[in-house]
Structure 1
Amino acid sequence: MEGFNKLHWEDWTVLLLTLLTIVLYGTYKTRKQRNVQDYVKGGSTSKWWTIGLSVMATQASAITFLSTPGQAFHSGMGFVQFYFGVPIAMVVICMVFIPLYHKLKVFTAYEYLESRFDKKTRILTAILFLIQRGLAAGITIFAPAIILSAVLGWDLTLLNIAIGILVIIYTVSGGTKAVSMTQKHQMAVIFTGMFIAFFLILSYLPDDITFSKAIEIAGASGKMEVLDFSFDFNNRYTVWSGLIGGTFLALSYFGTDQSQVQRYLSGKSIKEMQLGLLFNGLLKVPMQFFILLVGVMVFVFYQFNASPINFNPSADEVIANSSVASSYEKLKQDQALLFERKKTLINSYADKASKDLQADLRLVNEQDREIRNKAQDLIAQASEELDVKVETNDKDYVFIHFILNNLPKGLIGLLLAVILSAAMSSTASELNALASTTALDLYKRNTDKDLNDLQMVNITKWFTFGWGVLAIIIACVAYLADNLIQLVNIIGSIFYGNVLGIFLLGFFFKRIKANAVFLSAIITQLIVIGLYLMDAFDIINLPYLWLNFVGCIIVITIAHLIPSSRTT
């Protein structure tokens, strides 16, 4: 697989020029920041479009562009339902959260909790944020490192270190303003690259396959089923999980997660902050729909072109040295025969669609899925036999495989720049927020030293560096889960519902005391972790998205049940 082993000089030129320009520009433009207002809140000068793009770039990590197309390739468009709660959450945050944050002139979201409750509640919530966002920062570095490791054959640990250092340079140097400035350019690169990839995929389809026919073929294969109104908990992504669980997740993420709050606190006015978030709310679902559609078009492309039985390039190497090599080869032959049959069916369906042909097409794709599942089992068996770690689930490799093996020189470099730009933007936001929270909510609030602005900026820079190093360490010991984009959302869902509930208690339940909130938060976090583990071990069936809703309701309920929670 030549594409995985080397890049042409054109690709290297585009990739390095794009990344270095972004890093150097952000570092140069924000090199002289000497007060906390500038370093943490970017001087409160950001316009609404900068806020909107920065908020979007923070959420759209490399995992989004790496995993989402693969998710659509395997499971179709249904994942877009995950984002249905975002527009609702944006409206609520604009009406409730932003006016309060602006009125109190807070530097971090958790600063509000001390003014409403007490110091220990602020510290507890800040720590919950630091735990989940610190883990997520490591994963956002790890995701692109996997790609480059597969592309170049370089050591994964060295790549984690290199990517982490690149992000640390401009985040330490320029703080929030550097993050926001670079994110505008990163989003431009991302949108350009994804649109080019989409139109190139369409151009690679046979001449008689128009976009509408491609959609028809995808629909016949069950990939265009966007909406699921069922209440089936065996299905993670439904309209209801998106509207209920997704809304609570988005409320917590955009309203209480410092990595996002810090993006819009940099706004020059309350109106700019609100417009920035509404811009994100309007664009987020269409953007995710488009990225999933790219994955569906990759699926259609592989209906006319042979695909590997497993997209992870490491799988073939492990299988070749194992006792199951012949069984794996037999599955490849079965897949090749099935592909010839599929091509005949696809061409017939493209000429004249019918329900019988659609049923045959779905059957063939189901058989193809069964072959791929058997291949995964053999890969797992081989990796256990040889005592090596190989990811059997190849969702995260689908899109990168297509890029490396089908795009022209130069554009491969651009698409790699897209993925790395996304990684840098989200990781920079996370490090920036982790450092601000540590410096302001933990260090400054618990020290007796009288620190001036320059000292606080330097302390925050050191915390940025420290969190960057920790993120690199986490990336180095990480390992692929079922799907990277799901892993990040699972980590968030374990903590977000509880944190959101704490904020809602502060906003809407004025008679609840600090001690009740503190105790209920600790109890709730233990319950939510227990519920997740019970679901993981199949003791109960509770998809992770619902943890956001459940956690929020539990912490509010327990706070009301504690006798000392009300004033007399």
Structure 2
Amino acid sequence: MKNLPLIDLCVIFLYLLTMVFVGAWFSRKNKSADQFTKASGSIPGWAIGLSIYATFLSSNTFLGVPGKAYGGNWNAFVFSLSMPLAAWVAVKYFVPFYRATGEVSAYTNLEKRFGPWARSYAVSCFLLTQLARMGSVFFGIALSLQALTGYSMELIMIVTGACIIIYTVMGGIEAVIWTEVVQGVIKTLGAVLIIYLIVTNMSGGVSKIIDIGKTDHKFSLGSFKLDFTQASFWAILLYGFFINLNNFGMDQNYVQRYHTATSEKEAGKSVWLCVWIYLPASLLFFAIGACLYAYYQANPVLIEPVKLRAAAERLSSNASATEIAKMAATLQPADYGDKVMPYFMVTKIPVGLVGLIVSAILSAAMSTISSGMNASATVFSEDIYKRYINPNLTGKGQLRLLYIATALFGLLGMFTGVAMIGVKSVLDIWWQLSGIFAGGMLGLFLLGMMSKKVGNQDAIIAVIVGVLVILWMTFSYLIPDDYAFLRYPLHVNMIIVVGTLVISLTGTLLSKRKRN
């Protein structure tokens, strides 16, 4: 890491070494698949709640949210406002359901409800969602560390990914949860430190930041009109509710944690603890974006290197300095928002503290990726390998499979991150991909829970209709201008909302028609 002083390198190295040590420590307990995937139901609710919070607070939040707020406003914060309602539904219905089944996989019950096809479909959606999530997180951390080290994003992903794979494979879900407890604290303190440094460097302090933010509408939550063709307040609120319901209600990352709790009550408490911590924490990251915007508006010369770099990335490698400068002059804040916080870290954070901030960013990424690796390996083991390849796999064979699958999904996540290099906004790309992959899965789950009279054939037709609608919504922008009226008219974040409703309502209506 050639651009970082030795003291910062030592802090980062110590953090990475500690994470690997934690994995080695908990590896002593991993004598069975139940311990690797459920921690034998021995984790207290408060620790699970902090680990869920840490999973939510990924590097997409740490870097993407300030970048989003810098380039726009606080519209995306509405996503967080939807969490309490989604959590209430999950705690009331989903947590008791999963605890009662005792199945470590969130998708096993779908086979009992609709047949093997439903389970396989949901598993496919989940694994694609996890690859998109892990890839976007790998991309986010590489984007930040590249600004600090000068190394390529590919190399950064490989080095950090290797550390994550080691401690996740060794320690299992218990190592994931307890490292996330530490990581949740580190990343929150890192955010507080960043906002403190911005304010202390800002001439005029908080009042000046607020004045600039008000003038440029940086604190807006979006339009309150019932307009779903743009990112209005209501569009983001609906999107957030469906995504968070998907997270709390049927995402293996969270469902698996419910089984690690000592009781159903503790599992429910963990969900609410996550919500009440995440709400103010996410607001803190939006505040960072607004503060950075005000700081560079008051000091426009300081942001020029970022604009020039963003312009150079948009042009060919042999572009002249004049061409780059002309391009830079046309860029809007949204075009380089993701690069602003790493740049501030490089130029304004004192030696010694940079290592702490980098560790916070690393922790933000590592918690999400390690959780995704463990959950994906569990689903692969339970819903694919044991279901279709070797149903009799037990004992050491199952534990060996979990080790291999965990490492494999870590590598796939890295490759996905490499493929995302060059995207405009890490938060946007994650939101779009998660909405596409999760829509059909959530619709099928709700269909199974809303009515016990919906049959297998009704569900198959509903999913086929829903997938076709989701594909149309996703790719209709490719339709020629002569047939523009056939394009999907709503905002891209509404894909999960429409897809979910189409599947659940189609299946319900088909079952009612049969009864009549």
> Normalising by structure 2, what TM-score?
0.92
2:253 corresponds in structure 1 to: 259
State the one-letter code of the partner of 1:554: V
**Hey, what's the Cα distance between the residues in 1 that align with 2:371 and 2:513?**
36
**Hey, what's the Cα distance between the residues in 1 that align with 2:316 and 2:494?**
42
Matches within 5 A, 1:445-460: 445-460=387-402
The match for 1:222 among 204, 217, 223 is 217
Question: Quick one: structure 1 residues 313 and 181, their matched pair in 2 at CA, closer, same or farther if it must change by over 3 Å?
Answer: farther
The match for 1:412 among 339, 354, 368 is 354
The match for 2:322 among 282, 303, 326 is 326
Q: How many residues align?
A: 508
1:387 corresponds in structure 2 to: none
Q: Which moved more, 1:291-300 or 1:477-486?
A: 477-486
The match for 1:463 among 405, 414, 421 is 405
**Hey, what's the Cα distance between the residues in 1 that align with 2:165 and 2:443?**
33
1:122 to partner: Cα distance: 1.1
Question: Quick one: structure 1 residues 317 and 252, their matched pair in 2 at CA, closer, same or farther if it must change by over 3 Å?
Answer: closer
State the one-letter code of the partner of 2:368: S
Residue deviations 1:61-82, cap 9 Å, x none?
Answer: 1121111111111112222112
1:270 corresponds in structure 2 to: 264
Residue deviations 1:214-270, cap 9 Å, x none?
Answer: 21221122112235312234532x321233221111101221111222233211111
Do the aligned residues in 2 keep the contact of 1:74 with 1:395 (CA within 8 Å)?
A: yes
1:353 corresponds in structure 2 to: none
The match for 1:115 among 84, 90, 112 is 112
Matches within 5 A, 1:424-463: 424-463=366-405
Matches within 5 A, 1:227-306: 227-236=222-231, 238-305=232-299, 306=301
Question: Quick one: structure 1 residues 96 and 35, their matched pair in 2 at CA, closer, same or farther if it must change by over 3 Å?
Answer: same
Q: Per the alignment, in what secondary structure is the counterpart of residue 311 of structure 1?
A: helix
The match for 1:544 among 492, 496, 500 is 492
Question: Quick one: structure 1 residues 111 and 210, their matched pair in 2 at CA, closer, same or farther if it must change by over 3 Å?
Answer: same
State the one-letter code of the partner of 1:93: A
1:430 to partner: Cα distance: 0.6
Q: Which moved more, 1:70-79 or 1:307-316?
A: 307-316
Do the aligned residues in 1 keep the contact of 2:139 with 2:418 (CA within 8 Å)?
A: yes
Residue 559 in structure 1 maps to residue 507 in structure 2: yes
1:441 to partner: Cα distance: 0.8
Question: Quick one: structure 1 residues 255 and 262, their matched pair in 2 at CA, closer, same or farther if it must change by over 3 Å?
Answer: same
Do the aligned residues in 2 keep the contact of 1:535 with 1:541 (CA within 8 Å)?
A: no
1:5 to partner: Cα distance: 6.3
**Hey, what's the Cα distance between the residues in 1 that align with 2:17 and 2:109?**
38
**Hey, what's the Cα distance between the residues in 1 that align with 2:154 and 2:233?**
40
Matches within 5 A, 1:389-408: 393-408=335-350
Do the aligned residues in 2 keep the contact of 1:172 with 1:464 (CA within 8 Å)?
A: yes
Q: Per the alignment, in what secondary structure is the counterpart of residue 68 of structure 1?
A: helix
2:431 corresponds in structure 1 to: 489
Higher gyration radius (CA): 1
**Hey, what's the Cα distance between the residues in 2 that align with 1:263 and 1:178?**
12
The match for 1:201 among 192, 198, 202 is 198
**Hey, what's the Cα distance between the residues in 1 that align with 2:15 and 2:137?**
19
Q: Per the alignment, in what secondary structure is the counterpart of residue 265 of structure 1?
A: helix
1:347 corresponds in structure 2 to: none
State the one-letter code of the partner of 1:249: I
1:29 corresponds in structure 2 to: 26
Do the aligned residues in 1 keep the contact of 2:58 with 2:368 (CA within 8 Å)?
A: yes
Do the aligned residues in 2 keep the contact of 1:116 with 1:506 (CA within 8 Å)?
A: yes
Structure 1: gaps (5+ residues): 336-370, 377-391
1:357 corresponds in structure 2 to: none
1:404 to partner: Cα distance: 0.9
Question: Quick one: structure 1 residues 511 and 38, their matched pair in 2 at CA, closer, same or farther if it must change by over 3 Å?
Answer: same
Question: Quick one: structure 1 residues 234 and 268, their matched pair in 2 at CA, closer, same or farther if it must change by over 3 Å?
Answer: same
**Hey, what's the Cα distance between the residues in 2 that align with 1:53 and 1:99?**
20
> Normalising by structure 1, what TM-score?
0.84
1:141 to partner: Cα distance: 1.6
1:83 corresponds in structure 2 to: 80
Structure 2: gaps (5+ residues): none
**Hey, what's the Cα distance between the residues in 1 that align with 2:397 and 2:425?**
42
1:310 to partner: Cα distance: 6.2
**Hey, what's the Cα distance between the residues in 2 that align with 1:445 and 1:435?**
14
Do the aligned residues in 2 keep the contact of 1:310 with 1:394 (CA within 8 Å)?
A: no
1:447 to partner: Cα distance: 3.4
The match for 1:372 among 308, 315, 331 is 331
Paired-residue identity, % = 28
Do the aligned residues in 1 keep the contact of 2:110 with 2:118 (CA within 8 Å)?
A: yes
Do the aligned residues in 1 keep the contact of 2:187 with 2:363 (CA within 8 Å)?
A: yes
Q: Which moved more, 1:13-22 or 1:99-108?
A: 13-22
Q: Per the alignment, in what secondary structure is the counterpart of residue 76 of structure 1?
A: coil
1:522 corresponds in structure 2 to: 464
Q: Which moved more, 1:555-564 or 1:152-161?
A: 555-564
1:312 to partner: Cα distance: 6.2
Residue deviations 1:256-314, cap 9 Å, x none?
Answer: 11122223321111111111101122222221111000111111211332333462674
**Hey, what's the Cα distance between the residues in 2 that align with 1:249 and 1:234?**
18
Residue deviations 1:431-465, cap 9 Å, x none?
Answer: 11111001001111123552223221211111111
Question: Quick one: structure 1 residues 324 and 448, their matched pair in 2 at CA, closer, same or farther if it must change by over 3 Å?
Answer: closer
1:341 corresponds in structure 2 to: none
State the one-letter code of the partner of 2:213: A
Q: Per the alignment, in what secondary structure is the counterpart of residue 504 of structure 1?
A: helix
Question: Quick one: structure 1 residues 106 and 221, their matched pair in 2 at CA, closer, same or farther if it must change by over 3 Å?
Answer: same
**Hey, what's the Cα distance between the residues in 1 that align with 2:387 and 2:43?**
27
**Hey, what's the Cα distance between the residues in 1 that align with 2:31 and 2:372?**
21
2:64 corresponds in structure 1 to: 67
**Hey, what's the Cα distance between the residues in 2 that align with 1:313 and 1:33?**
51
State the one-letter code of the partner of 1:222: H
1:46 to partner: Cα distance: 1.6
1:532 to partner: Cα distance: 1.7
Do the aligned residues in 2 keep the contact of 1:77 with 1:223 (CA within 8 Å)?
A: yes
1:494 to partner: Cα distance: 0.6
Question: Quick one: structure 1 residues 502 and 372, their matched pair in 2 at CA, closer, same or farther if it must change by over 3 Å?
Answer: same
Do the aligned residues in 2 keep the contact of 1:83 with 1:242 (CA within 8 Å)?
A: no
Q: Per the alignment, in what secondary structure is the counterpart of residue 335 of structure 2?
A: coil
Do the aligned residues in 1 keep the contact of 2:385 with 2:391 (CA within 8 Å)?
A: no
1:167 to partner: Cα distance: 0.9
Matches within 5 A, 1:301-312: 301-305=295-299, 306-309=301-304, 311=306
Residue 9 in structure 1 maps to residue 6 in structure 2: yes
Residue deviations 1:148-172, cap 9 Å, x none?
Answer: 2332222332222212111111111
**Hey, what's the Cα distance between the residues in 2 that align with 1:140 and 1:39?**
24
Do the aligned residues in 2 keep the contact of 1:515 with 1:565 (CA within 8 Å)?
A: no
**Hey, what's the Cα distance between the residues in 1 that align with 2:308 and 2:44?**
44
